[in-house]
Chain A
């Protein structure tokens, strides 16, 4: 049985004066989690919304989305929200457990 890929819709902040390169961060995440499929936020067919701001002001607009959401600002995972009983919850958890290290600004810097 082939498992369906986890799909993340990505929303960037606009990167006016970035302290972190958001697309590079997402590429790193993808290379660590090859099962993750990344699409733009306006595709509207994804399991997890990933909001990536490139500095701590974290001004990316949050699109309306009824699923789990991870928010990253300047490489730091700020907080994440998972609606109770969401089907992607398990996958998201795995993603976070694995991926949080990837997101972590300090950990990336240390590499």
Chain B
């Protein structure tokens, strides 16, 4: 049983043979390549914090399977306290990284599959749960990073998986034999997958009997034969060689996503956790989505703490910190941030046990939280842009700042208050630019599902009939059959 440190995690990646492409080329130096390293550094924090005496109370837990201390990212929630600690952990880490540290997706996939495999077995007489527990033991024992792989490319969104012109637009089973299954297709937007050890594949939507070959959940190494990752571009990825212009050079922005192609990948039966049980695809999607939506008031709360700090600093540097509208806008940013956090804490505190014993969040409150994220983060970023000023969009480059000919002009004309070095002002401006625009914003919209996905769940859980009844009683309308 190990709890890896950050550097042990990073070294373990060197042993993988992950097939990654970026900018039309096969990547051979993933761990040291500046395109990937910031994301790797961010994920490494989830490992280091387990060994930090100040943070370990949040980042470690006691395994219900072995009684041993493990990294919380491999833990199955055993209480509402566990759910609350998860949110606090995410906020704490996000405050350090200022960006996505990727490991929550696999964490949520583990928890969703743990309870759903149990329910599947109870209802259908399958034997997935024991198999899944074996896998969980392996994950806890080796402290590996697991990517959560749900989203399929989906092609024509109006068609079901089995109706698509190209059958590979959803991951599906193409062969079954006595040793295992062969799967084919792709998973899109895969956070942290190029620096994970394994991927935990789940269906992306509820299914019908016709879609049975698409109802597949399983675990594979990210470097298994037939797995190819095509890394996604980010808004600042041509800035990777300097220190200032990326804004957050150490940890990057967002998680580093990839399109992962599964070209006839073999999965042994020990790692198959759903194969044709289409009736449970929807349950699995909802369970995973609710756990994942729980997170956003934690991690985005922490990221927003950094944005608020950066915005307050730029106000200081610009000499406007005492202006009443600036203070009011900062207050609003704090209000929005803590509202997000409150939602995450609430859906955790209102959690409940599933038949497997694992705890699940309140799905209504979790969906409310994520829907708020699709709006509030945009508003927080808008207020930050407002206070920071237009130079976050027009600043010359780091090379210009260092250039003997024009550097002195950059120094002179980008200075705010006289007491603050121009470079400090530029650094904070770049941090704001990178944390509040482009890739970072879209993550708040679509990560863990687009807003409509939350609205559907909210309407389903919102108990409208009971609300109608309340109104009828007060209005004196008699009950009718």
**Cβ-closest chain B residue relative to A60:** B57
B58 within 8 A of A: yes
Q: How many interface residues does A have (CB within 8 Å)?
A: 14
Q: How many interface residues does B have (CB within 8 Å)?
A: 17
A15 touches B89 (CB 8 A): no
**Contacts of A7-29 to chain B: CB distance below 8 A:** 10-17, 22-23
Q: Which of the residues A12, A14, A23, A40 comes within 8 Å of B88, measured between beta carbons?
A: A14
B59 within 8 A of A: yes
**Contacts of A67-93 to chain B: CB distance below 8 A:** none
B84 within 8 A of A: yes
A61 within 8 A of B: yes
Q: How far apart are A31's CB and chain B's nearest CB, in angstroms?
A: 18
B305 touches A15 (CB 8 A): no
Q: For the complex, give the distance between the alpha carbons of A40 and B57 in Å.
A: 12
B1 within 8 A of A: no
**Contacts of A25-61 to chain B: CB distance below 8 A:** 40, 59-61
Q: For the complex, give the distance between the alpha carbons of A60 and B54 in Å.
A: 10
Residues of A within 8 A of B65 (CB): none
Instruction: Decide yes or no: A16 and B54 within 8 Å by CB, A59-B84, A59-B88 being known contacts.
Output: no
Residues of A within 8 A of B307 (CB): none
B53 touches A14 (CB 8 A): no
Q: How far apart are A44's CB and chain B's nearest CB, in angstroms?
A: 13
B55 within 8 A of A: yes
B91 touches A15 (CB 8 A): no
A15 touches B54 (CB 8 A): yes
**Cβ-closest chain A residue relative to B338:** A17
Q: How far apart are B468's CB and chain A's nearest CB, in angstroms?
A: 38
B interface, over-half SS: helix
B54 touches A23 (CB 8 A): yes
**Cβ-closest chain B residue relative to A13:** B57
Instruction: Decide yes or no: A12 and B53 within 8 Å by CB, A17-B305, A59-B84 being known contacts.
Output: yes
Q: How far apart are B97's CB and chain A's nearest CB, in angstroms?
A: 14
Q: How far apart are A49's CB and chain B's nearest CB, in angstroms?
A: 13
**Cβ-closest chain B residue relative to A11:** B57
Q: How far apart are A1's CB and chain B's nearest CB, in angstroms?
A: 33
A40 touches B85 (CB 8 A): no
Q: For the complex, give the distance between the alpha carbons of A22 and B55 in Å.
A: 11
B314 within 8 A of A: no
Most buried by B among A10, A22, A61: A61
Residues of B within 8 A of A59 (CB): 84-85, 88
B92 touches A16 (CB 8 A): yes
Q: How far apart are B79's CB and chain A's nearest CB, in angstroms?
A: 11
**Cβ-closest chain A residue relative to B94:** A16
Residues of A within 8 A of B84 (CB): 59
Q: Which of the residues A10, A14, A23, A40 comes within 8 Å of B58, measured between beta carbons?
A: A14
Residues of B within 8 A of A15 (CB): 54-55, 92
Q: For the complex, give the distance between the alpha carbons of A76 and B54 in Å.
A: 18
A interface, over-half SS: loop
A12 touches B54 (CB 8 A): yes
Q: For the complex, give the distance between the alpha carbons of A11 and B54 in Å.
A: 8
A16 touches B89 (CB 8 A): yes
**Cβ-closest chain B residue relative to A12:** B54
Instruction: Decide yes or no: A14 and B55 within 8 Å by CB, A59-B84, A59-B88 being known contacts.
Output: yes
**Cβ-closest chain B residue relative to A54:** B54
A17 touches B57 (CB 8 A): no
Q: For the complex, give the distance between the alpha carbons of A51 and B305 in Å.
A: 26
Residues of A within 8 A of B56 (CB): 12, 14
**Cβ-closest chain B residue relative to A52:** B54
Residues of B within 8 A of A12 (CB): 53-57
Instruction: Decide yes or no: A22 and B88 within 8 Å by CB, A14-B59, A17-B305 being known contacts.
Output: no
Q: Which of the residues A16, A22, A40, A61 comes within 8 Å of B91, measured between beta carbons?
A: A16
For B68-88 the 0/1 string (1 means CB < 8 A from A) is 000000000000000011001
Q: How far apart are B339's CB and chain A's nearest CB, in angstroms?
A: 14
Q: For the complex, give the distance between the alpha carbons of A87 and B360 in Å.
A: 44
Q: How far apart are A3's CB and chain B's nearest CB, in angstroms?
A: 27
**Cβ-closest chain A residue relative to B93:** A16
Q: For the complex, give the distance between the alpha carbons of A12 and B51 in Å.
A: 12
Residues of A within 8 A of B91 (CB): 16-17
Most buried by A among B58, B89, B305: B58
Q: For the complex, give the distance between the alpha carbons of A10 and B52 in Å.
A: 12
**Contacts of B75-133 to chain A: CB distance below 8 A:** 84-85, 88-89, 91-92, 95
Instruction: Decide yes or no: A22 and B57 within 8 Å by CB, A14-B92, A16-B91, A59-B88 being known contacts.
Output: no
Q: Which 6 A-B pairs have the closest CB atoms?
A: A14-B58, A16-B88, A16-B92, A14-B57, A12-B54, A16-B91
Interface residue ranges, B against A (CB under 8 Å): 53-59, 84-85, 88-89, 91-92, 95, 302, 305, 341
Beyond the given A12-B54, A15-B55, A23-B54, please list 12 additional residue pairs across the A-B interface where CB-CB is below 8 A.
Answer: A10-B53, A11-B57, A12-B55, A12-B57, A14-B85, A14-B89, A15-B54, A15-B92, A16-B89, A17-B95, A59-B85, A60-B57
Q: List 16 A-B contacts (CB under 8 A).
A: A10-B53, A11-B57, A12-B55, A12-B56, A14-B55, A14-B57, A14-B88, A14-B92, A15-B54, A15-B92, A16-B89, A16-B302, A17-B88, A22-B54, A40-B53, A59-B88
